[in-house]
Amino acid sequence: MDGAKALQVLIVYDSKSGNTEKMALAVAQGVKEIAALSVVVKRVDDTTNEDLLSADGVIVGSPTYYGQMSSKIKAMFDASIKIHGKLENKVGAAFTSSGGVASGAETTIISILEAMLVHGMIIKGRARTSHYGAAAVGKPKEREEAKCRDLGKQVALLILKLRS
């Protein structure tokens, strides 16, 4: 990439118990499998609009709160109104950890994806299982971590495909 800016994936997460953080780190491992991309992992509290702007892809993870993203993740998207239209054509994806089965994991992921779509982002889904993004009930186990790694890898591959 002679002199060109390296392609970058930003992983933003909110985590109270550590479960969503563990998922974020697994997503980052998946991105790292694609050597052409760099990855930055940040807590939502430390994420700025500039971070969103500098990334080629953004993967957001949130605990499931009443079937929605956490208030901190929502506040990040609310603050991104200042850069509205500038995230267009960046790749987006989402993941969540929830407290139980049928407790709103899919609707939480969709709430994140809706915010990304409003920004004009390109959403990475899956034809196989976990169509909307990666989800775990409680502490992610190896199966959920593998889905997180795959999510990161697939987002990285899509970014490469779109940028080539």
Whether 44 is covered by a domain: the verdict is: yes
Using DSSP, state whether 76 is helix, strand or coil: helix
Examine residue 76 and state whether it is found in any structural domain, yes or no: yes
Q: Which domain holds residue 74?
A: 7-163
134-137 vs 7-13, strand pairing mode: unpaired
Q: How many structural domains compose the chain? A: 1
User: 148: which strand partners?
Assistant: none
Cβ distance 94 to 64 under 8 Å? Answer: no
Please check whether residue 2 lies inside any domain of the structure: no
> What pLDDT, on the 0 to 100 scale, is given for residue 2?
47
pLDDT tens column, 9-56: 999 999 999 999 999 999 999 999 999 999 999 999 999 999 999 999
- As a whole number of angstroms, the distance between CA 58 and CA 54 comes to 10
In a domain, 20, yes or no: yes
138 occurs within a structural domain = yes
Whether residue 85 is contained in a domain is answered as yes
CATH code for the domain of 141: 3.40.50.360
Q: Looking at residue 164, what is its pLDDT? A: 86
Give the list of residues 6+ apart from residue 11 with CB closer than 8 angstroms, or none.
24, 27, 28, 31, 39, 40, 41, 42, 58, 59, 60, 61, 152
Please indicate, yes or no, if residue 1 is contained in any of the structural domains.
Answer: no
Contact 50, 86 (CB under 8 A): no
What is the full per-residue pLDDT of the chain (164 aa) written as tens digits? 445 678 999 999 999 999 999 999 999 999 999 999 999 999 999 999 999 999 999 999 999 999 999 999 999 999 999 999 999 999 999 999 998 887 889 999 999 999 999 999 999 998 888 899 999 999 999 999 999 999 999 999 999 999 98
